[in-house]
Amino acid sequence: MSHAEPTVAAADERSPDDDPHVDVDADRWAALALAVLCAEQATGELNLTFIDRADIAELNAQHMGVDGETDVLSFPLDDELQPGVPVLLGDVVLAPAVAADQYEGHAGTLDDELALLVVHGVLHILGYDHAVPADAARMRARELELLVTHHWRGPPPGGFRQEHADG
C-alpha cells in the first residue's frame, strides 16, 4: 500500500493595514511546510494561514488562555486514521507582523524567522512539544535539521538562534 502525499493549503488572510505589513509568499511557505510533512513521513492535509496580529491575539486568548500576541499557533485535528478518509492534520496560523517585531532578537532575519515559525508550527501539528526540557531539545534539534535541509540548504547563518535573546 502506498503512502498518500501530504498537502498544504496556504492563505494570506491579513488586512493590508496590519502593522507592520510584511510581504508574504504564501506558496513559498506552503512548500516549506510540505517539505517538513514529507520529511516526517506525514500524510494528510494541513492549512497554513497568515493572519493579523489582532487575530492571533484573539486566538491566543481563546485557545491558550494567554492575553496578548504570539507569533504562531498550531491546532492539530485528526488523531485517528480512518481508511479512505483524508486525514486533516490541522491548522498552523502565523502572524507575520509579530515575526517582524521579534526577528532581530530571535532568528536574525525576517526570512529565517518566518521559516523557523513555519517549521515550528508544523512540528507541533505532528506531535512535537517543548513543555519539558528533553522534548524541547528533541524539537529544537529537529527544527534545525529541517531548516538546514529545506530552508538554507546548508549550515545556518551566524546570527541564527532558535531561542529568543531575552529568554
pLDDT score, position 153: 96
| pLDDT above 90 for 3 | no
Which grid cell sits at 88? 486533516
Of the candidates 68, 76, 110, 112, the residue with the CA atom closest to the CA atom of residue 93: 76
Q: Looking at the predicted structure, is the pLDDT value of residue 46 above 60?
A: yes
Q: Which of 69-78, 82-91, 147-156 tops mean pLDDT?
A: 147-156
The residue ranges of every structural domain in the chain are: 7-152
C-alpha 122/C-alpha 118 separation (Å) is: 6
Look at the domain 7-152 and name its fold: Collagenase (Catalytic Domain) (3.40.390)
At 87, the pLDDT band (50, 70, 90 cuts) reads confident
Give dist(CA 29, CA 7) in Å, integer: 13
Q: How confident is the model at residue 85 (pLDDT cuts 50, 70, 90)?
A: low
What is residue 123's predicted lDDT score, i.e. its pLDDT?
A: 97
CA distance 46 to 90: 5
